Amino acid sequence: MPWRKLPLDSGCWQPPDKNPLPFAGLLSSLPEEYDYECVVTGTLPDVSGTLYRVGPGLYDRGPDRKRMMLDGDGMVQALTLDGGRARFRNRYVRTNKYLAEELAGRFLYPTFSCHGSGPLWHNIRLTLPNQANTTVIDWGGKLWAFDEGQPPYALNHSLETLGQPALDPEQPALRYWAHWKLDTRDRQLHCMSFVPGPKPSVNVVSLDQHGRVQARQTVPMPRSVYVHDWFVTPRYFAFLLHPAFIDFAKTASILLARETFSEAIQWQPERGGILVIAERGSGQVWNVATPACWMWHAINSYEDGKQLVLDFIASSAGGGLGDGDSPLFQVMRGREPGGLDSVANHLRRFTVEPGNARVADQVLDDSANFELPTVSNTERGLPHTWAYMIRSEPGELFPHALSRWHRESGTSQSYRFSSDVYCGEAIFMDEVMDGAGGERGRYFISELYSASTQRGAFAIFDETQFEAGPIAEIELTHHVPISFHGYWSGRRPQT
């Protein structure tokens, strides 16, 4: 049917060794699953554990190719460091969707920005199949792979899919947003479920280290919008409802497979933002008007006396979801994306006293485009030392540099790789949730892709000498598609 947003013809995309786009490996599928010991250059730190990452590893299946770079079946990576050696393993999450499409040899079902090639009745729905492709965490004895607005999939530490056991057995139907939050003080995991509709609300489920529910809280929302990330401090939950409205007039078109879910997200900056602050446990809620800005990712949040401080990556434009010609879509067709010649994503801070009707708004750094921010696990929800993030100069879609911003002094530093190397999110190699102490880590790790070799790698930094570059690199024998988020676990998985 002509109105359906069917997958692209896979012939529009060439493999990395034939593709003119230097970053092609980041958007090329990796159907193979590996398990091998890696070559290490430099000196690995005396740290044992596993870096888990997840991302859309399968963009192509048979004649079909996904239309947008955030879509694709979830592939979990595990990089284990132990005794000065490094081992890499990757496995696809065996979701119901993945198994059915593996048998069919093409994409049958709709995803966030793409309809399926299967029969029309596969696409007539108001809920999407789970791709398990956005975030991952090691919690309560299992790995959990999250998609947006879905129950997560559980895996064991050998990356075998276990199914979808309920995070909260008393609320098994809850569909969680991808970004969980760690609570450094209470050593809890908080998971958020946004319930849209005429009376929207958020359900927060809080789990202890063993995966047992410790608290539940429902927070009413004043508007129904698409959100991706949120904030947690010892006393508060906070939600930035940027004006990315879900157009419910499009519901019938989505249900009849005339439009995709991403097309229902409409950026309306003239309506401003609303910050919802909920006191944990009390039911007290405050709604505060804010300037309009899109937030893909929070950096961190903490309390400073009576003030609540929220640091995040902000954009004055929308997230590029409802626009089928945004860079997120252009690049999947093998086109060099346009519209990247300005600084769109900068560091921003809202400071507010709960109960006060105004926020103080401050731009912290607008010198480049920033994304995928992280802080040490030991500092989540507390005043952090450094915030790390990827850094792209105007005109760059994928970054060649890591940057860090010092909270107290406001100074920033960067390390730029060579022009053929692309870098990903920096993950601290510490874990306050695992074992006693929770001492702040000294090392962090970033996944790389080399355009000259068409292979992936991992770079480990000592933050005391960040600007000098990596102290060790771990080489892979193949490319790895882009993965957005990861988690360091101090446990070494059983083989």
Q: H or E stretch including 440?
A: none
Question: What is the CA angle 73-81-16, rounded to 5?
Answer: 40
Confidence band for 447, pLDDT divided at 50, 70 and 90: very high
What are 153-166's pLDDT values in tens digits?
999 999 999 999 99
What are 18-65's pLDDT values in tens digits?
999 999 999 999 999 999 999 999 999 999 999 999 999 999 999 999
Query: Which range has highest mean pLDDT (265-269, 329-333, 350-354)?
Result: 350-354
Distance between CA 385 and CA 284 in Å, rounded? 30
Confidence band for 435, pLDDT divided at 50, 70 and 90: very low
Question: What is the Cα 336 distance to its own chain's centre?
Answer: 23
What are 130-139's pLDDT values in tens digits?
999 999 999 9
Average pLDDT over residues 169-179: 95
Whether 257 has a pLDDT exceeding 90, the answer reads no
| Average pLDDT of the residues of the chain | 92
Residue 373: closest CA among 442, 431, 298, 440: 298
Distance between CA 126 and CA 262 in Å, rounded? 12
Two structure tokens written together for 70: 């955030």
Average pLDDT over residues 364-372: 95
Confidence band for 358, pLDDT divided at 50, 70 and 90: very high
Strand extents, DSSP E, 221-330: 231-232, 236-241, 244-246, 265-267, 273-279, 285-290, 298-304, 307-315
How many alpha carbons fall within 13 Å on the CB side of residue 239?
A: 32
Question: What is the per-residue pLDDT for 85?
Answer: 96
Pairing outcome for strands 412-416 and 73-82 = unpaired
Question: What is the per-residue pLDDT for 452?
Answer: 97
**Ordered domains of the chain (ranges, CATH):** 8-489 (2.120.10.30)
